[in-house]
Amino acid sequence: MSKIPAFGLGTFRLQGQVVIDSVRNGLELGYRAIDTAQIYGNEADVGTAIAGSGVRREDLFLTTKIWVDNTSKDKLVPSLEESLAKLRTDYVDLTLIHWPAPGNGVSVDAFMTALSDAKARGLTRRIGISNFNIDLTKQAIASVGKDAIATNQIELSPYLQNRKLVAFLQSEGIHVTSYMTLAYGKVLSDPVIGALARRHQATPAQVVLAWALQLGYSVIPSSTKRENLASNLLAQTLHLTDDDMAQITALERNGREVSPDGLAPQWD
């Protein structure tokens, strides 16, 4: 059983009052896991929304991610301390290395050791990785051990199922967190998804999120609309049949949406 919540609220591309409203609405609706990152530029806004929500810190699961400029031994801990100040908390529940940035001059061992140090200092309860391929995940395991790596947060949708990487992570007992599960909304207009949604009297987003949840992944969809935030949560109670799942599996097209030069590894 993974300790990472199956359902969280993403905040990518949301800033200012927009992210404050999204997080506030999410918390009011029952979300308790919030995902942010240093590079999103919204940690302080997320902190503001949480502070005003009345939800107890111990009832929340907060994730942030270390940006590539801050992965060196001398910068990682101070940068995380800055993130905590913005989030108005003494610790986060999970801290990830955002991108492996293989050409950045900081080795996997160096940043994983620094991340481990942050955990030892109590700044983060768990540590993990994001956007790592199999080879780089193996390097991270060699550095801190597979049991220390709580998750690999990867782009994963019906159009990009990342089966080889997922199989490797599962074989190592490393939890999979799916981001961009709706492929920037592209899968929502897919006729196969639409037909399944109609049959289940569900929304296309609920169908796709239910698919990812049934595969054992955590999901962190974002929305600026309260009704969508509420609707997405209902994916947790939608059960897809084996045939439904097989129809979605057949949508694979290696449709990657995010692969920034200099940050991304060679994908498996």
Residues 31, 40, 159, 217: which is the catalytic one? 40
Active site residue 159: no
HEC assignment per residue over the chain: CCCCCCECEECCCCCHHHHHHHHHHHHHHCCCEEECCHHHCCHHHHHHHHHCCCCCHHHCEEEEEECHHHCCCCCHHHHHHHHHHHHCCCCEEEEEECCCCCCCCCCHHHHHHHHHHHHHCCCEEEEEEECCCHHHHHHHHHHHCHHHEEEEEEECECCECCHHHHHHHHHCCCEEEEECCCHHHHHHHCHHHHHHHHHHCCCHHHHHHHHHHHCCCEECCCCCCHHHHHHHHHHHHCCCCHHHHHHHHCCCCCCCCCCCCCCCCCCC
Give catalytic residues, as residue numbers: 40
